[in-house]
Amino acid sequence: MPRLTARERREGYQREYAFQKRHGKPFFPNAVFHDTIVSLIVVALIMGLTILWYAQFGPVSADPTAERVGGLLGPAYEAKADPGVLGYHPQPDWYFFFLFELLRIFKTPQLLIVGTIIIPTIWMVLLIGWPFIDRNPDRRLSRRPIALAIGVMVPVVLLTLTFYGSKAPGVGGAASTEPGAAAFAGGACSTCHVLANAGTAGNVGPVLDDAKPDYATALKLITNGQGGMPSFKATYTEDEISCLAGYVATWSAAVGETPGPNADTAKETYPASCEKAGGLFTGTASSAAGP
Ligand code: HEC
């Protein structure tokens, strides 16, 4: 495309404008009619799918806990929500998996802001500014290597993040109902430590199933911190810390219901300290859901 001066461009535009004004179709009623028809088709499609969905599930059981089985278009509704459940792994809807995975990459408290605020903000600003950044009038792909590269890279990155995000374990909520598990999984520990019994997958601190700390080590680390491990003296009471240390010592490297190799070191205090700490620390659904 030959380069035009600003004046030539303006004149060209005015010629085109005058031509369209005389010979083009007016917005009203042509475009409005067009949009109305398309909107009606979309609404009709949604209504059709709704009718199909309603027609395809069988009689609904009166039992409120029964699963509502359905066909291709999904169940009528799912089993009743239970706020006392400890083993629940919340996950975002699939179209948020890429963000979910981004948060898992930047998961230390210091870096969290990069994944939650900085990257999405840069992304938004780039999108808004794109017409001002990219002023290349050429539409042929071979002349637009940078735009082409970015255009390919963005969906690849998003799809990759979505794929890994879909396989990530849910956040919060403990896998087991042992005393201390819910506090470990729901609190600060889950972001930094892997502990299979609690169902956590943090990647900052040591994998506790490998470290297998004994009660005294765990108690000392949780109380005073060390290196990258923060001190929890100000966060938790003595009973709560003792409960967490007992939980970690007992259930690190556990195989199913069989406690780990250092369980004996916590025998004196665990799970009694959890009972004293109360609330989320006791590990029973009813008290965890309590006030
Ligand atoms: C900010 C990340 C972070 C958080 C949050 C965190 N830890 Fe740690 N943790 C670490 C790091 C890093 C280490 C290694 C410290 C060292 O050895 O210098 C560690 C070490 C430990 C150890 C000793 C493991 C061993 O080597 O035997 C235990 C036990 C432990 N953490 C339990 C907990 C518990 C329980 C919580 C929650 C109350 C928690 N951690 C929260 C990062 C963290």
What is the 222 CA–ligand 1 centroid distance (Å)? 7
- Gap from CA of 168 to ligand 1 centroid (Å): 22
pLDDT of the chain along its 291 residues, tens only? Answer: 567 888 998 999 999 999 998 998 888 899 999 999 999 999 999 999 988 888 877 666 666 666 666 667 777 666 666 666 555 566 788 888 888 888 878 767 778 788 888 998 999 999 999 989 888 888 888 888 988 999 999 999 999 999 888 877 655 445 678 888 888 887 678 888 888 888 887 878 899 989 999 999 999 999 999 988 999 998 899 999 999 999 999 999 888 778 899 999 998 899 899 888 888 888 764 333 333
Note the CATH number of domain 181-288.
Answer: 1.10.760.10
Q: Is 219 in the pocket of ligand 1 (CB under 6 A)?
A: no
| In the chain, domain spans | 1-77, 94-167, 181-288
Q: Is the CB of 230 under 6 A from ligand 1?
A: yes
**What is the Cα–Cα distance from 275 to 118, expressed in whole angstroms?**
42
Determine contact, residues 173/186, Cβ cutoff 8 Å: yes
Ligand 1: atom nearest CA of 249 is 29
**Ligand 1 center from residue 87 Cα (angstroms):** 23
Query: Does the Cβ of 213 fall within 6 Å of ligand 1?
Result: yes
Q: Tokens 């179209």 sit at which residue?
A: 95
Query: Given ligand 1 and candidates 221, 232, 235, which is best to mutate, with the most ligand atoms within 8 Å of its CB?
Result: 221
Could you tell me which of 173, 207, 172, 182 has the C-alpha nearest to residue 193? Answer: 207
The protein residue with its alpha carbon nearest to ligand 1, atom 37, reads 189
- What's the fold here for domain 94-167? Helix Hairpins (1.10.287)
Burial class from Cβ neighbours inside 10 Å (0-12, 13-18, 19+) for residue 88 reads middle
**pTM check: above 0.75:** no
What's the confidence (pLDDT) of residue 285? Answer: 45
In this structure, the number of other CB atoms found within 10 A of the CB of residue 287 comes to 16
